[in-house]
Structure 1
């Protein structure tokens, strides 16, 4: 009887609700507390002399900018996404020295310097995009965050910086924000969208995918996707419109008139992974 009472007491003690634990802040490098995500803070631009390098409208894990005034005036500054440290590092490229480090509480996938000097970062594990202020000395301060669809990755903006585009890998969407990251629209895309490149007239977005061998084409005026661009060839497809000039034909003839197996034949898988996508400046507009 005594044993039964002791067991009952332990069960009740384990099930009783104590005081609620406070929500934990994101953890920075080495378990240090990182900044709390600021979803309710304003994302509006504040005065800054930082400017992106000419023509930089798509995000990357390393982005370049320069300052119009201050100690770093006319110097090239690199902003680096450090996934291991879950931080952004600013580096004086000309002086070959580190300027600042900002713990994010989550690893950044891509960064992008906006025309007004704000620095954006996608945080895939946190389902957020962060806005960072950069002082004229290169110091970094998080000013706000905004929720996105699951696993944000790619970033792009127009020349004025009043339209911001974010690709969401797990969410399979391209999302469009205004310059203050307020109003939001979007379009569903095939799985794992990644890099975003805007056409020269800024009316179309081309979005690469981690899998599937396609580039999605999105009308930014209507936020509707059209027929994707195929960037792979299946050797089994003999109806390729390019005929003998197609990659499929080249692969078929490259194996010694069929004496060696071709990927895709007899149940062999034709695989393709890759999402790098860039636009040329000379000649302009070439993907």
Structure 2
């Protein structure tokens, strides 16, 4: 009896194994790598105070020592600040910017695309012309202009990225909304007397989730690189607040005798971006219909 009771569990086990095997390696690797960065971002205070100056063990422009010690495994910068602590807080900044600006830019873009694709007419013309302007803007120049109008800080970076990154998801969602606009499930909702906003929310919007889920990691990767670029140019996160971009800017002055000050944050940006890109490719592998969403699409 016990053997007979245990027998039905085998097919269920095989089903779980087959489902697990369907997860692409890129998605697993990217998720694991991103989890490491999120863990570092959450535990950033554990790595020390990024503003504390250890002048005794500070970096010397003569070359060696590089400020490395048990207290500072990655050494110190020119001001005696722990490179490890600054790296951890820089990663926290990048993760926050990537996640928050990703949500806000995609939410705005999806709303614009859905409204334009469903209602059409003058609303479509206005929204799509504004979207075209957003796509045509030179990102770096526009970001510098917006940065000059706002006080420095994390909020400024999020606003800049949101203002510049909403147009591409708007165009993606708009095309998908046009494709689905006259499908039977949409027209049946209208025939039953549902209002336009209700049809969009209950019938069209759920069909956008797979598209936006595949695009979201690519958008986050772009946000990481763009935030680092802005901070490097002095239009993003300004010192003394740690950012991977301003760490690279500081490190280039010591490239000749302490290249790790530039290489460490640069590698962190590379790996964080790679984690998002791998997740995006893994999600696309699970849904071949989303192959048009590419990290080269911007």
Task: Tell me which interval the TM-score lies in, with the shorter structure as reference length.
Answer: under 0.3
Structure showing greater relative contact order (alpha-carbon pairs closer than 8 Å, 6 or more residues apart): 2
Whose helix proportion is higher, 1 or 2?
A: 2
Calculate the TM-score normalised by the size of structure 1.
Answer: 0.25
Report the structure, 1 or 2, having the larger strand content. 1
